[in-house]
Amino acid sequence: MYRYSFRFVVMSITILTANLLTTALGNYLVTFKNHIRPLTFTIIGMAIIVLIFYPLFAKLEEWVKGLSMKIVRKGKSMAGKYLGLALVFLACLMVLSCFYAKMWYHIDILQILLKGKISNYI
């Protein structure tokens, strides 16, 4: 049971982190679209995406999976097998949700929590 939970946690963190990074890079590239003609930008943008994302995907999965496994193992050693896994998963989801909320809605979840106005956003 723990092995499947461990795999789920590591894979979930890996997927969310990889998506966050690739979306942020894609959004950055799109900021240059008004400086170049549409078809030229499309062709250049597609080439840049392949040149950036191919090696990134090749290594990113390995890096993020390794980092996720280290974080999950650290939680296991600090709070026990199941509780540590659950706490680490919740902590990672909280950190990732802060980045996603910033990227998608331009809001700072930490500031919202500190001000006690979380009910306005849920």
Rounded CA separation 33/38 (Å): 7
Low-confidence ranges of the chain (pLDDT < 70): 56, 60-61
| Whole-structure pTM value | 0.67
Nearest to 88 by CA among 17, 11, 10, 14: 10
User: Hunting for tokens 């990074």 — which residue is that?
Assistant: 21
Between CA 121 and CA 99, with CA 116 as vertex, the angle to 5 degrees is: 55
pLDDT digit string (tens) for 53-76?
777 677 766 777 777 777 777 777
Q: What is the tally of structural domains in the chain?
A: 1
Q: Which domain holds residue 64?
A: 2-120
Q: 43: closest CA among 55, 29, 22?
A: 29
Cβ–Cβ contacts within 10 Å for residue 71, how many? 17
Phi, psi at 37, each rounded to 5°:
-60, 145
